[in-house]
Chains A and B, each alone.
Chain A
Amino acid sequence: MKLSRLAPLALVGLFALTACGGSGQSNDIQQSESIDEQGSIHIVTTKIINVWVHKSESEDEGKIYKSIMENFNQAGIVAADGSRVQMTMEFLGTNIDTRISAALVTGGLPDILAVDSSEVAGRVHYDILKSIDDYVSAEEKSSYVDSVIDQGTIDGKLYTLSAMEAPGGLYYNKDMLKAVGYSDADFGTIENPWSWDDVHEAQKKLYAANQPYQINLHNGFGTDGDMYFYSPLIYSAGGDFGTDNHVKEALTSPEALAGLKELEPFYGTEGLGSNERWIYEGSNDLAFVQGQIPFSIYGPWDVTTIRNDYPQFANSYGIMPYPVYEDASGKKSGRVAIPCGSYAFGITRDCRDEKMDAAVAALLYLTGKEASEELYYGIGTYPTNKESLANIPELKEGPAKVLADSLNANEYTRPKQIKYPQLREAFGSILTYMKNRAYYGNDYDLDGYVAQQAQIVDNDQISN
């Protein structure tokens, strides 16, 4: 092949490579002419809002976002200035963080970005998200459950809203517990929840009766599972996670340590024979729904699993509110803290001021009543819209109602810190340390280990 024929090909290739980085935001406000019935010509302005979601289009959640986008675009929603709003979506899946990193350099952030509830503080600190406090009315805010507003609020300003919540609780096998003398009246309720001691007591009774007795604590569940499931331990005992650079002080407080130590009996082997453990460590994710174990600390997802795949088990199980802290005198904590939090959406710094009204309209739809319900029916996450939470028939009775009530009563969310990834890893390490305490023998020193892990978090520097 002659060189003269190769050169244009090479140039095209190079241009193709360099063209990949375009942000494509130049046409996000479009004007068109429309003629009304009287024949008058009007200029119609359309603002296009680009949304990055954390799921791929092939996943169930991604499909629902696509449906929400299509519904939005057909609904003819207008912004505060009367312009039409249209939504476009990019389904980035696990690549979302990479795209965000690239966009921070090139300036191509979308108008609306999916953010995990625990990442909001970091995104705000690094000036990625804009406050929406001035654009969302008090009435609109009041339609969301408190946890959504709480997790989206940093330093008193609202940054994100969410259409889904994931309240967690204590799944229990009614049949197994009734077989050892428990009745419906004995099970925990919002008003009178079980403590961790109560759970362990029930395990002992089951063990004595030669029944399955293990609890699935779901340690190491996903990236954020440990914090999601067990940060409520700290809150329930009266502790907290402190603030950025002051984690050690908070986590080594007597309250926080007392909260953590609630799990020690479960990780220990006291009262058991050799080779036995109180916690379920098997590889079957469906051990609870298949009736193999009596307890499981889990989010709302098994409600859907049981309803869809194990309907015969539906009458055999119940959900109690997440167990509370009980002090040495037997007094139970009055603080209601449950596993909660999910992905939310916020408006980024690259959304221009003239598009803010349109972006807020899109954000409110994306996290509003219809979206919330669509996600509930699609993937089983709980609606964040109070009206939906109160009116969806499936949430008005049975185990699902307990999670809904827990969500309404919940007072805490996962810690909101810029160094949340470091804190999350430290917290996970602490739980792993507790879980594997048997292997440390006399060297096991929880207080010391917590202090060491918290110090690592505090030592890490925050960039400005």
Chain B
Amino acid sequence: MEIENIVDRRRKGHFRLFGTEYNIRESLTAMGFMLPAVCLAIVFIFLPMVISLAFAFTDANMMTIANFNWVGFDTIARVFSDPRVAEALRNTLYFVAGVMPLQFFAALGLALILKHVSHGNKFLRWAFFCPVMLSLAVTSMLWMNLLNRQDGLINTLLLAIGASPVAFLENPSTAMPCIIFISAWQGAGYQMLILLSALQNIPKEQYEAAEIDKASKWQQFLNVTLPGIKPTMVFVFITMLIGAFRICVQPMLMTPGGLNGATMTMSYFIYNQAQEYGNFGYSSAVALVYTFLIATVSLLLRKVLGGDNQE
């Protein structure tokens, strides 16, 4: 009887793939709907990735792009011996190490505020999320004006209280901390929303049980809240990490040229090599090495922190 049914269904236009049976007509319709998106993804995502991967093993230059030579691992080897790459990597790690805790705890703090504050909650939610809606270029220009050494608002205030003005974005030792702060300020709102949604999904019964057990607020936070949002925190942490490794626009706009190497990050370096110098081959090689680095760090972090399928 069962065998007959299968034969019957196949006769009506079904097929089996990897152990699952599909309706041919429905599948074709679904594929038709997917086709535009798939085509766009191939043209604008996968193809450039493959081309970039191939360029990493060439000496391609933007001006001679149709006439390049395969140089094997020469370009990749150059990446490891280039002191500028080492400097850019150091700066990027500095940025990542600075922005990750700052942005994460800011996002978590804001989410906790929104969870517990009912008065003016909508306004606060809008205010905290507002920087996310602004473009990086706009916020960079805004902060450049605020931090201007001569007539920026912050230095004017410092002068008013008798303090010396600070060359926030000109001084190599203060420029990167400023970029870290501004990036955390701008990005925290987005992570805040994700964490807030996770916070709101923690069952109230868990808090009630903790209160019955006479757990303090801090103990509730440690033993109920944090475990309850751990999978979300891991997700937020990893996406933040990947975003932080890609830092480019803020140093490019706020410290053009990388402030003598002090704010030259890996993405900015890759961009410079490709767009300013036309060195597509070298730029792709640096990008390839860097992608492997980010992927390795992300996977390691995911392994260490866990977060998969944890309730």
Give the residue name and chain of the A residue nearest to B170 (CB).
A436
**CA A259 to CA B51, docked complex, whole Å:** 45
A122 within 8 A of B: yes
Query: What residues make up the interface of A, taking CB atoms closer than 8 Å to B?
Result: 1, 3, 6-7, 10, 13-14, 17, 97, 101, 104-105, 122-123, 125-126, 128, 220, 274-275, 277, 280-284, 419, 421-422, 425, 428-429, 432-433, 435-436, 439-440, 449, 456, 460-461, 463-464
The 26 listed contacts between A and B (C-beta, < 8 Å) are A10-B36, A14-B39, A17-B43, A97-B62, A97-B275, A101-B62, A101-B65, A105-B65, A277-B150, A281-B170, A282-B148, A284-B151, A419-B277, A421-B276, A421-B277, A425-B276, A429-B257, A429-B260, A433-B260, A435-B170, A439-B170, A439-B172, A449-B260, A460-B277, A463-B59, A463-B61
User: What 1/0 flags go to B132-158 for Cβ under 8 Å of A?
Assistant: 000000000000110011111000000
Contact B28 A283 (CB under 8 A): no
Residues of B within 8 A of A274 (CB): 164
Instruction: Encode contact with A along B28-43: 1 for CB under 8 Å, 0 otherwise.
Output: 1100100110010001
Q: Of B43, B64, B261, which contacts A126 at CB under 8 A? A: B64
Q: A432 near B257 (CB under 8 angstroms)? A: yes
A461–B256 CB distance below 8 A: no
Question: Is B257 within 8 A of A428, CB to CB?
Answer: yes
B278 contacts across to A, CB distance below 8 A = 421
**Interface set of B (CB-CB < 8 Å, partner A):** 25, 28-29, 32, 35-36, 39, 43, 59-66, 68, 84, 144-145, 148-152, 159, 164-165, 167, 170-173, 256-261, 272, 275-279
Q: Given A3-B25, A429-B258, 10 more contacts at CB 8 Å?
A: A3-B32, A10-B36, A101-B65, A275-B159, A281-B170, A419-B277, A435-B170, A436-B167, A436-B170, A463-B63
Chain A residue nearest to B68 (CB atoms) is: A463
Judge whether A439 and B151 touch: CB under 8 Å: no
Q: Which of A3, A220, A456 contacts B256 (CB 8 A)?
A: A220
Whether A439 lies near B167 (C-beta < 8 A) is yes
Write the nearest CB–CB distance from A202 to chain B, whole angstroms: 20
Q: How far is the CA of A303 from the CA of B64 in the complex (A)?
A: 41
Q: Which residues of A contact B64 (CB under 8 A)?
A: 104, 126, 463-464
Is A275 a contact partner of B272 (Cβ separation < 8 A)?
no
Contacts of B173 in A (CB 8 A): 439
Contact check: which of A122, A281, A422, A425 meets B150 at CB < 8 Å? A281
Q: Are B257 and A425 in contact (CB under 8 A)?
A: yes
Q: Once bound together, how far apart are the Cα atoms of A6 and B32, in whole Å?
A: 7
- Nearest chain B CB to A117 CB, angstrom units: 17
| Residue in B32, B68, B150 whose CB lies within 8 Å of A282 | B150
B172 partner, pick from A277, A422, A436, beta carbons under 8 A = A436
User: Whole-angstrom distance between the alpha carbons of A449 and B261 in the complex?
Assistant: 12
B257 and A126 contacting across the interface, CB-CB below 8 Å: no
Q: Indicate which residue in A123, A422, A461 contacts B59 across the interface (CB closer than 8 Å).
A: A461
Task: Let me know if B39 and A439 touch, CB within 8 A.
Answer: no
Residues of B within 8 A of A463 (CB): 59-61, 63-64, 68
* Contact between chains at A280 and B276 (CB < 8 Å): no
The reply to whether B84 and A456 contact each other, CB–CB distance below 8 Å, is: yes
**A52 CB, min distance to chain B CBs, angstroms:** 16
